[in-house]
Amino acid sequence: MSVNNGGMQTSQDTAPNGTARASWERTNTMSNPSTPTKHLKSPKPQNAITIAVSSRVLFNMDKEQQIYEQKGMEDYLKYQIEHETEPFGPGPAFPFVKALEAVNTRLRELYPESEELFDVVLMTNNHAHVGLRLINTINHHRLFIERFCMTGGNSPIGYLKAYHTNLYLSADPMKVREALEEGIAAATMFNPPEKRTEVSETQLRVAFDGDAVLFSDESERIFKAHGLDKFFEHEKAHENTLLDHGPLKGFLESLGKLQKKFYAKGQRMDCPIRTYLVTARSAASSGTRALKTLRSWGLDTDEALFLAGAPKGPMLEKIRPHIFFDDQMFHVEGAAELGTVAAHVPYGVAQKRPQKKLAEENAKDSSAATK
């Protein structure tokens, strides 16, 4: 176990199955990816897997947000300029971004000329005056982030398609909903749990819920409207009917595409990307349809956990993903209670609430979201 530049506890001494392997021992450069001595060229957006992150999830900006809310924009900008040499601390997306860079390091070793890499874009509605502090923070943490979008108070949503965004992570639930409406994979991130689970420095681990995340919410609608027995009947009757895609299917597809590049070099067992399906579905009664759907898409996950309604938190605590995506807040909160960084995908029937209640939840989400 070691502590990286961002102060995040990480684990690098075990493979996913818990057994030590020599192949997982990396040099300091590999286990702690940083800005290299020679300048790396950013891939063209159309060739890259673009991850757009807001400054409030990449870094901890709680204090600055309080100044903005209590004293207004001018005092906020003044404070940022006066403290622009002081780097922000890591936010909930920080370990995820570091893991993306570790994957890129491996890809560049195997495919020096390829532009099929992760490309992180900092998306923020901050004023350009804050840009210097953000740049100083990125250099302090030795991150490779060359693309910024600072919109000076306007929503950055319109720029996501221009950047060919494959995933957008934000602290603002309204912006995330806007992105999903534009067909862009997106999720809301929150303040990291106090007791955060250690994560790997050498292997990116991403866990997905099934319904309303990888798949459509068709089956969840049956469950919500008619109960569990009707849900099981529906799944049995339609086990050979493929589910439609959900909002994060494309992101899993992008991860699978990069995994195959490692497989092609004989590195399936040493792949620095590992994916997980963590679903409340039961394996025997409703798992067949989910697995057949993934197979039909030419996709799979390295591990599939069918929990039959059991809590997801304990399983996620063992997986130690850098991020877990779920459409229901009680699963997100349950994961966070046990130390997993979880992101909410506000999509599907689970989000259908009376307008007043939905507004209250948005307000609660916003106050809980990282700054």
Q: Which domain holds residue 117?
A: 45-189
83 and 157 fall within a common domain: yes
Domain match, 104 and 142 both = yes
Domain end, chosen from 140, 161, 189, is at: 189
Please check whether residue 141 is in contact with residue 5, taking contact to mean a CB–CB distance below 8 angstroms. yes
Domain shared by 150 and 270, yes or no: no
- 152 part of a folded domain: yes
pLDDT band at 29 (very low <50, low <70, confident <90, very high): very low
The domain spanning residue 235 has which CATH number?
3.40.50.1000
Residues 140 and 244 in one domain: no
pLDDT in the model for residue 353:
59
User: At 95, phi and psi to the nearest 5?
Assistant: -60, -35
How far apart CA 185 and CA 124 sit, in angstroms, is 17
62 has catalytic annotation: no
In a domain, 132, yes or no: yes
Q: Do 222 and 171 share a structural domain?
A: no
Residue 370 lies in a domain: no
**Residues linked to residue 326 through DSSP beta bridges, in sequence order:** 344
pTM (2 d.p.): 0.83
Residues 146 and 272 in one domain: no
- Whether residue 288 is contained in a domain is answered as yes
Q: pLDDT tens digits, residue range 70-108?
A: 999 899 999 999 999 999 999 999 999 999 999 999 999
pLDDT at 354: 47
Q: Is residue 322 part of a domain?
A: yes
Cβ proximity of 165 and 50 under 8 Å = yes
pLDDT of 181 above 70: yes
Catalytic residue among 209, 211, 217, 326: 209
- The answer to whether residues 362 and 173 touch, using CB atoms and an 8 Å cutoff, is yes
pLDDT given at position 26: 40
Number of domains in the chain: 2
171 and 230 belong to one structural domain:
no
**Whether residues 114 and 247 fall in one domain:** no
**Are residues 208 and 345 located together in one domain of the fold?**
yes
The share of the chain scoring above pLDDT 70, in percent, equals 84
Residue 349 CA, distance from chain mean position: 22
Same domain, 80 and 127: yes
Q: How many Å apart are CA 361 and CA 369, to the nearest integer?
A: 12
